[in-house]
A and B are shown apart, each in its own frame.
Chain A
Amino acid sequence: MENKDRTLGEGIARQELQLIFIIDNSGSMEGEKIGAVNNAIRDVMSMMPEVQEDTADATIKISALKFSDEAKWVYSEPQTVNEFKWKDLKSEGGTNLSSAYDELAKWLCKKEKGGKMPDIGGVAPILILMTDGMPTSYDWENHLAILKHKGWFKVALKYALAIGIDTDEAMDVLRKFTGNPETVLKVYTAEALRKVIKVIAVTASKVKSNSASAGYGGALGASNNDVAKNEIAEKLDDIQDVEW
């Protein structure tokens, strides 16, 4: 049996920041909507290596969860910005938001409990939900209630993009996800959708990865999410066909 002393300094890694896209690819997203989402994510990914290079404080990891009749992760593990290659989504089936919330709840557990979040430390993730209508799963509120108990969900920076949604009932679904009406955005055109996704994903990643270590820790309830939200709000002012 090996019987040597270990050297100090091995096994140290940077903090991990996860950017998670939750994408409705049900039949109603067909055509321009899903095309705009695909283009936007490809755009974001082309910029992320630069964002990663600019920060020494955290490693950015990307994940995508698509949901129609069932929810499914595009990659089974969070990917670094260089590993993540976007494959265009096709739209078909219903809008099973319950299944998406279940998958997200499993993902947002510590690794030792079967999830994908670090057991110790880590940075509050960024969640971006995109959908164009009411869920077809009637019990989505029960599944959201379970998700809301997860510590990582509570601290996450949450945005929801309502793609061409006009009814209050459908907007309420998204407000309940973010818990904040100011982070639910109505997007009316493909071009606006592309710009909005880019602004949220890139700005939030920059702010949060650059303040991942010592700048913003504190008692429960405090975080750097507010800084990211303020910067995003300023940039969204310049985009037309968006309402929040």
Chain B
Amino acid sequence: MITYLTRTATGYSHLREKKVCQDYSACYHDEERTIVTACDGHGGATYVRSDRGSKYASDAVIRAFGALERSAFYRYTKKEICNKLRLQILCEWNARVERDIYEKRFTKAEISRLDEEQVFRLKQNPVKAYGTTLQGAMIFANKVLCATLGDGGAFLLRKGVLYPIGGEDDETVANLTYSMSQEDAYEHLQVGIFDFSDIDGVLLCTDGVINPYQCLGNFQERFAKPVCLKLQTGQHREIADFIDEMGCKIGIGDDVSLALAMKSGVSLRGYRS
């Protein structure tokens, strides 16, 4: 049995500037699989449709992961499955974005804050307007499948310890990150498959959640452990309220998204201080 939660809240800088929330999180659950996502649309001036970009990234993960069949694990190697999923996620996302660009031309209001050069560049490459990161995970067939691109966090949970998914990259410092809208997004999108029997669950978040903690140890002790404890003890409301508060009051001003999925009834020993 899986217990799960997703929550997104608007950051106070977006509230202050009357901007829409650019994060998006979602979940899908049926009798055989649980999928959770947390995606972060970029905040830079030219990313005028990044709120839609993050939603489409979330949809792309759910569609690609949702279409995976159990038999795939017998027919293909892990590497082949990962490569197919990377391609499917990117194709799904690009198809949604291109349809959106075709159906809904950029309005004057959308480009009103851009200078001439930015408008020119956006017209040359409209996909850029939808720039977003992507974090997604599926618990299925006693496995955890994870997809990650860009900053934020994707972690496996085991006995109260966080295990980051994806390689560390010194290039992605400050607010700069890899993006679904980059031409070489395929190179940066990582998909991994892990055995669920050794793992308690998976935690995904956008950088608005993780950055205020400044280092991984602090994030694990002060955020991940108490949140997992609350999830296991049914305190979903408290987690949601805290995420809301982090967005509008105590965080760094950025939008915040959390997605968490865990086995029900895991030992809580490692999650206590």
Contact = CB atoms under 8 A, between A and B. Distances in A.
A104 to B, nearest CB: 15
Contact of A214 (B14, B219, B246, B273): B14
Interface stretch (B25-33, B90-98, B136-144, B208-216): B208-216
Interface in B51-85: none
Contacts of B223: 8, 11
A155 B176 CA distance: 8
Contacts of A8: 222-223, 226-227, 230, 238-239, 242
Given A151-B170, A151-B171, A214-B14, A10 B222 contact: yes
Interface residues of B, number: 58
Interface residues of A, number: 45
B265 interface: no
Given A15-B211, A151-B171, A218 B176 contact: yes
A214 B211 contact: no
A130 B221 CA distance: 42
A16 B212 CA distance: 10
B216 A218 contact: no
B215 A218 contact: no
A98 B22 CA distance: 43
A220 B178 contact: yes
Contacts of A117: 173
A119 B179 contact: no
A167 interface: no
A121 B252 CA distance: 10
Interface of A: 2-16, 56-57, 110-112, 117-124, 150-152, 154-155, 212-223
Given A121-B214, A214-B19, A219-B176, 10 more contacts: A2-B273, A3-B272, A8-B238, A10-B222, A15-B211, A123-B175, A154-B171, A217-B176, A218-B131, A220-B176
